[in-house]
Amino acid sequence: MSVDNKSNHLERRDFLKGLSTVPIVGLLGLAVQRQKSFEKKQREALLGAKKEVDPNLKELNIALLGAGAQGEVLRNAILKIPGIRFKAVCDIWTEYALKKNVNVLKKYKFDVNGYEDYREMLDKEKDLDAVVIATPDFWHARHAIACMKAGLHVYCEKEMSTNLEDARKMVETARETGKLLQIGHQRRSHPKYIHSYDKIIQESGMLGRIVTSYGQWNRGAAEDLGWPSRLEIPKAQLEKYGFKNMHQYRNWRWFKGLGGGPIVDLGSHQIDIFSWFLGAQPTSVTASGGMDYYPKDKHEWYDTVMAIFEYETEQGSSRAYYQTQTTNGSQGYFEKFMGDQGTLVISESGSLGSVYREATAPAWDKWVNMGYIEAAVLQEQKAEPDVVLDVRETISPDQHIIPVKLYDPYHQPHLENFFNAVRGQGKLNCPGEIGYETAVAVLKVNQAIEAKRRLTFDPKEFVI
Ligand SMILES: NC(=O)c1ccc[n+]([C@@H]2O[C@H](COP(=O)([O-])OP(=O)(O)OC[C@H]3O[C@@H](n4cnc5c(N)ncnc54)[C@H](O)[C@@H]3O)[C@@H](O)[C@H]2O)c1
């Protein structure tokens, strides 16, 4: 579906421009009116685009289970995908997340029912094809398993679970029921990542032998999430769903048994890319981490983690350093693969994606001519000023931009891959087995921090 983003952007700009030219009196009313008109146009664009849908496309009935921050991101991406009909939303925050999402979907003309309890939803909604799960990690296994057993295909957010036993059961259930289980490592379907793996790493071998890799997710210091007191969930209801109180409910990712802290929350996306691009699972991990910054009575997981993974790839030994810290957002998040002939720097974020040739490597004209990379941009004219690389000593000053961009929301291609697979068109890019391998690698980082020593992986650990 091609929603006219340009006209939406114009509308947004007009909206802001309009605000600057009217007197303050009535500003709010005008703003609300224009916002409504913007939303109406956006809905019309989406609905209009839906009319152009291929009549042979099988419509899929879906439910959204977990309608918090990520549930909304997925919902918005799904709204851009043709042939998907929302039938139900389930969320325990009935007065806020549930109400809000049901209302939004009704505005998009979906006849949706809202539920607090997923079991009731599964009992009542008998014509669902699939469910999209975006609940906290410790609920994933129960939700995914119940949904697959009820006959639904499942798109489940990462991390599969807070423990490997439950993650394993998810894969086993997918196998037993024959239902699809896609895990939300969405970079696996991102065209820039697919191009980088297929063309830059594999086919051209442009980077040469990758001996070291690096990844980071640096986030600035932030307050814990709060909530308006009028929307507080009653304690008994919170406890029924495994949360001690509102603070823990809102900030579950910081608590043991509920989430895995930033290394799991953020790191798993990028440690997944290490395994994919290196074509190997790690053989060991050494890590240091601590609760260095945030008050210890508010969080349970490490706010700062630095980890070193070792790999035996087809090319030989390889090491990857990964860090996530939550007190300084310097350079955000990206991954970097350093071969003896070149360096790939890539991120899901924005347009970041370039290759830098080592000064001693053969020319890359062939790959430029084949369209795998763009012609070199001299460092002084760099198109991506946010990439700070010290290129002066060992690599040529040339930056080659990867000519593949994603203009859709980040999660859309991964959701499309899932829905296509449900229709029997193609295979999942991140089935439960891959999600499991990543969970094995990532969950061991926290164990290595606790053990204060290098932990090894038995290759059998990655296999179900
Ligand atoms: N792929 C990505 O880029 C990405 C990004 C952010 C979050 N996530 C993942 O998405 C999931 C949700 O994260 P979030 O940031 O939206 O958290 P959140 O706390 O904002 O939302 C979770 C929602 O689940 C609901 N919920 C909790 N327990 C429930 C239950 N038993 N039944 C029904 N609803 C329940 C909550 O009420 C809440 O609305 C997590 O697994 C997280 O790791 C993935």
DSSP string of 226-250?
---GGGPPPHHHHHHTT-SSHHHHH
* Same domain? 387 vs 312: yes
Ligand 1 atom at minimum distance from 241 CA: 31
Ligand 1 atom at minimum distance from 67 CA: 39
Q: In which residue are the tokens 């992986």 written? A: 457
In one-letter notation, the amino acid at residue 172 is E
Centre of ligand 1 from the C-alpha of residue 138, in Å: 10
Q: Say how far apart CA 268 and CA 274 lie, in whole Å.
A: 10
Q: Say how far apart CA 321 and CA 323 lie, in whole Å.
A: 7
pTM of the model: 0.88
As for ligand 1, residues whose beta carbon falls within 6 Å of it are 65-71, 90-93, 97, 118, 134-137, 139, 157-159, 184, 186, 241, 265
Does 113 map to a domain? yes
* Same domain? 175 vs 219: no
Please report, for the domain that includes residue 121, its CATH number. Answer: 3.40.50.720
Centre of ligand 1 from the C-alpha of residue 254, in Å: 13
* Atom 5 of ligand 1, residue of closest alpha carbon: 70
Q: Pick from 115, 148, 179: which residue ends a domain? A: 179
Please report, for the domain that includes residue 390, its CATH number. Answer: 3.30.360.10
Ligand 1 atom at minimum distance from 72 CA: 16
Does 254 map to a domain? yes
* Same domain? 389 vs 253: yes
Query: In testing the pocket of ligand 1, which one of 64, 70, 92, 96 has its CB within 8 Å of the most ligand atoms?
Result: 70
What residue numbers bound the domain in which 34 lies? 5-51
**Tens of each residue's pLDDT in the chain, 464 residues:** 332 233 232 222 222 222 222 232 333 333 334 444 434 444 444 444 444 567 788 999 999 999 999 999 999 999 999 999 999 999 999 999 999 999 999 999 999 999 999 999 999 999 999 999 999 999 999 999 999 999 999 999 999 999 999 999 999 999 999 999 999 999 999 999 999 999 999 999 999 999 999 999 999 999 999 999 999 999 999 999 999 999 999 999 999 999 999 999 999 999 999 999 999 999 999 999 999 999 999 999 999 999 999 999 999 999 999 999 999 999 999 999 999 999 999 999 877 899 999 988 999 999 999 999 999 987 555 555 555 454 444 556 688 999 999 999 999 999 999 999 999 999 999 999 999 999 999 999 999 999 999 999 999 999 99
Does 427 map to a domain? no
* Same domain? 161 vs 90: yes
Q: Residue 447 contacts by C-beta under 8 Å, 6 or more apart in sequence?
A: 455
**What are the structure tokens assigned to 262, written together?**
């930033």
* Same domain? 238 vs 373: yes
> Counting Cβ atoms within 10 Å, is residue 113 exposed (0-12), middle (13-18) or buried (19+)?
middle
- Which residues are 154's β-sheet partners? 131, 181
* Atom 1 of ligand 1, residue of closest alpha carbon: 184
Ligand 1 atom at minimum distance from 116 CA: 33
* Same domain? 158 vs 47: no
Centre of ligand 1 from the C-alpha of residue 53, in Å: 30
